[in-house]
Chains A and B, each alone.
Chain A
Amino acid sequence: MSNHNYVPSSKLGKWFNDRLPLLSLSAHVTEYPTPKNLNYWWTFGGILTFCLVAQIITGIVLAMHYVAQADLAFASVEHIMRDVNYGWLIRYFHANGSSMFFLAVYIHIFRSLYYGSYKSPREVIWILGMMIYFLMMMTAFMGYVLPWGQMSFWAATVITNLFSAVPLIGESITNWLWGGYAVDSPTLTRFYALHYLFPFLILGLVILHIWALHIPGNNNPIGIDIKKPSKDTVPFHPYIVIKDLYALLIFLILFAFFVFYAPNLLGHPDNYIEANPLVTPTHIVPEWYLLPFYAILRSVPDKLLGVVAMFASIFVLVILPWLDTSKIKSAVFRPLYKQFYWILVLDVFLLGYMGAMPAEGLYLLVARVATAYYFIHFIIILPILGFKEKTIPLPLSISEPVLNGTPNLEENNKTST
């Protein structure tokens, strides 16, 4: 932390700050030395904070009108849409908000992958981020169940049945999760309670995530450790604040497009049919942001191993800081990693597409190859690449390539190996 010696100018401020150093905290945040070369990929942290707060606010408002009981839930959502003042707007904002939240989090995660933000000394930030991501998926899943449409019901059935793959106690676990022998009203009510709780857990983790970030400070596009404060940094306010706000504004244009012009584009029409435990829709798919994991689940022909592979695909991200053996953070200086990175991006898109297609024939084959490659990237390619790759020499500082002309190659070769 940089502002231990901050002293408020007013007497009252000093009195208060001695008792609760909120003003010191505020000064720490505003003056926080931030790398001056952060690009727009770094604005998604702020965008994500906005998304979380927006989801919590719209969610609390929706909770004032929603009824978490199987006979009433579907009708209460329609009541929100038709009767409640601005209910349509608030619900569409909340429903599309989850998609925008995931869009932003995926960009945020892939930015970390490209610039090596998960590497030492930022492993804990990364793991906290993965915990947030996992909680987000659980929250989104449970929120998707609440309207109690056909997709809600069958998503709940399929996902809770994942636990029936656990040997011996699988059935007891699913009955415990359901509060019955199938997904029914008790399931809906508890999902609602947890859907309300989890965002606050996420908020707590976000605070830890930012706290952990402020120990080493931001990574940056060239991925070198910088002195702070120095010629390489700018204060968080106003430089980064304005940049974040501008990016948020652009992001909100996209957000508003979905809310006002295509509010159901990312949803599924079957969810406007009330839940029916006797009929499964012919083609059930999860929301787009879970499709890659769904593809991994389906590409394994064995039930238990499919579930294991799906959870492993997330866990492999958690241990990523120890799988990637390269000391060089940014892909800018890793010509081979840069190529593998883009192959991984394509692979994840491919998995997402396969998750939306029926699990048969050529689709299944492609999904299997893509699943295999996903794991190969993390478990085989990344550990080996750190030893084999010839990296490009790093500059000594952010300013050096600009101000000093050609970098001092002799110095740099030492740091890059």
Chain B
Amino acid sequence: MSDQEKTKRRDFLFTASYALGAVGVGAAVWPLIDQMNPDSSVKALASTEVDISTIEPGKSITVLWRGKPVFIKRRTKDEIAEAKAVKLEDLIHPEKDEDRAKNSEWLVMIGVCTHLGCVPLGDKGEYNGWFCPCHGSHYDTSGRIRKGPAPTNLEIPKYEFVNSNTIKIG
């Protein structure tokens, strides 16, 4: 074998060793990183059932689901009409009200501002919906962002009506 061939053989062995070493280090480090992800007990608290029979029109309740507040708002006719009247072109994050509230009387959404995670205040702001006190985001009666630094509408969680008095979130 010539010197040059020997070098190539060496290079291959080095590269292969480094690659195998990198895979090994990666495999060893992964459990140390993944342990920080939500654990089984946290994931197990995936759904919660809420009694909504006592909520009057125009009122809302806040429940805790997976550590986050969820707003359940029974909207008045005016509020529904206001939400439906908005043109999609006027929205920062265009979504129809029908797509956000399956049953238009009930608006269920995660009460966490999509900017930096504060809890917006109800019946406040320039659009009669929610207002985040931390950095001034205004949401309308459908929970859609209208003004301020938040990039998207308030998130709608997975939920269903178990019966006319109960909502299951998650």
Contact = CB atoms under 8 A, between A and B. Distances in A.
Contacts of A360: 136
B23 interface: no
Interface in B26-75: 33, 36-39, 42, 62, 64, 66-69
Contact of A280 (B37, B68, B134): B134
B37 A278 contact: no
Interface stretch (A114-122, A253-261, A297-305, A335-343): A297-305
Contacts of B135: 298, 359
Contact of B68 (A179, A186, A277): A277
A148 to B, nearest CB: 14
A182 B66 contact: yes
Contacts of A157: 116-118
B37 A179 contact: yes
B133 interface: yes
B108 interface: no
Interface in A228-254: none
Interface string B4-18: 000000000000000
B96 interface: no
A283 interface: yes
A161 B116 contact: yes
B107 interface: no
Contacts of A164: 116-117
B37 A303 contact: no
A175 B38 contact: yes
A164 B112 CA distance: 13
A306 B149 CA distance: 9
Contacts of B111: 278
Contacts of A280: 118-119, 132-134
B118 A158 contact: yes
Contacts of B69: 277-278
B64 A181 contact: no
A181 B110 CA distance: 12
Contact of A158 (B39, B42, B62, B117): B117
A302 B149 contact: yes
A308 to B, nearest CB: 13
Interface in A156-197: 157-158, 160-162, 164, 175-184, 186, 190
Nearest to B37: A176
Interface in B113-167: 115-119, 132-136, 149-151
B36 A277 contact: no
A181 B38 contact: yes
B134 A158 contact: yes
Interface of A: 154, 157-158, 160-162, 164, 175-184, 186, 190, 277-284, 298, 301-304, 306, 358-360
Given A282-B133, A359-B135, A180 B118 contact: no
Contacts of B33: 176
B118 A179 contact: no
Interface in B54-107: 62, 64, 66-69
Given A158-B134, A161-B116, A283-B133, A277 B67 contact: yes
Contact of B42 (A176, A180, A303): A180
B67 A184 contact: yes
A176 B117 contact: no
Contacts of B149: 298, 301-303, 306
A181 B118 contact: no
A164 B149 CA distance: 14
Given A186-B42, A306-B149, A181 B116 contact: no
Contacts of A358: 136
12 contacts: A157-B117, A175-B38, A178-B38, A179-B42, A180-B38, A182-B117, A278-B64, A280-B118, A280-B134, A283-B133, A284-B118, A302-B151
A298 B31 CA distance: 36
- Among A154, A161, A175, residue most surrounded by chain B Cβ atoms (within 10 Å): A161
Nearest to B150: A303
Nearest to B66: A181
A180 B37 CA distance: 7
A303 B115 contact: yes
Nearest to A358: B136
A73 to B, nearest CB: 15
Contact of A183 (B36, B67, B133): B67
A278 B68 CA distance: 8
A278 B62 contact: yes
A166 to B, nearest CB: 12
